[in-house]
Each structure stands twice: as structure tokens, then as C-alpha cells.
């Protein structure tokens, strides 16, 4: 197992376009987290899953953001009608139930 994998590593998109990111967690990890991070700041919670169930979604997130984990394995995060303020690093992490979380390398989104 090579750890948490995120794809793509970098994404440049025009304002108004939709983007989708993928996260493959460590196998057998039933918890999966999505965070957003801007330069020099701590990660900001977006949402998390236990298996395929989405347990919580940040109230800061607009309806343009949606995440799925259909079979309790990989997850996708979609941003519709992107805005320049969406430019950030999007991080995915996984954990085995209530335990330490391991992060992927992130997807750097730039909206131009």
C-alpha cells in the first residue's frame, strides 16, 4: 500500500468551470476526510465520511461543493462554477475509524 493517493496533483481551470478531484485512501481505512488549505494556514475542514456515509459537511461550504464516496473506498470532491476564491490546496486524509489520519499530497487548484 502506497498511502493516500490524490489525483490530479495540480489543476488550473477557468472561472465558471467545474472540477472534480479524486482521493484513494489507504486500503481498509473506513474514514476519509477532505480539507482545504491556503498558504501558511492550517487545513480547514470540508467534510468527512465513514465508509460511504457522509457524517458532516462544513457549514462554510457553499452548495457548489459536493463530495461522494459511493462504495466506501475512493472519494470524489466536485466544485461547480469555480470562483477565484476556490484557489487552494485540497487535501484528503484517511484513518482506521477513530485513529490517526494520514494525508495525501494534495491537489493544488488554481482558478484563473
Residues contributing to the site for another protein (CB under 8 A): 4, 6, 31, 33, 35, 40-45, 48, 50, 55-56, 91, 93, 95, 97-106, 108
Backbone angles phi, psi at 35, to 5 degrees: -135, 160
Q: How far is the CB of 6 from another protein (least distance, A)?
A: 8
Of 93 and 111, nearer to another protein (C-beta) is 93
Of 43 and 82, nearer to another protein (C-beta) is 43
How far is CA 50 from each of CA 12, 56, 70, 93, rounded to the nearest angstrom? 30, 10, 11, 12
Of 7 and 80, nearer to another protein (C-beta) is 7
CA gap 54, 51 in Å, rounded: 8
Q: How far is the CB of 98 from another protein (least distance, A)?
A: 5
What does the buried/exposed string (b/e) look like for 45-64 if buried means 16 or more CB atoms within 10 Å of the residue's CB?
A: ebbbbbeeeeeeeeeebeee
CA 67 remoteness from chain centre: 8
Q: How far is the CB of 52 from another protein (least distance, A)?
A: 16
Of 72 and 80, nearer to another protein (C-beta) is 72
Amino acid at each position: 500500500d502506497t498511502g493516500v493517493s490524490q489525483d490530479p496533483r495540480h489543476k488550473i481551470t477557468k472561472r465558471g468551470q467545474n472540477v472534480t478531484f479524486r482521493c484513494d485512501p489507504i486500503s481498509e481505512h473506513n474514514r476519509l476526510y477532505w480539507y482545504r488549505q491556503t498558504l501558511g494556514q492550517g487545513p480547514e475542514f470540508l467534510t468527512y465520511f465513514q465508509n460511504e456515509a457522509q457524517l458532516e459537511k462544513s457549514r462554510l461550504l457553499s452548495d457548489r461543493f459536493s463530495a461522494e464516496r459511493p462504495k466506501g473506498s475512493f472519494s470524489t470532491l466536485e466544485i461547480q462554477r469555480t470562483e477565484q476564491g476556490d484557489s487552494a490546496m485540497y487535501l484528503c486524509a484517511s484513518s482506521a475509524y477513530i485513529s490517526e489520519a494520514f494525508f495525501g499530497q494534495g491537489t493544488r487548484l488554481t482558478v484563473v
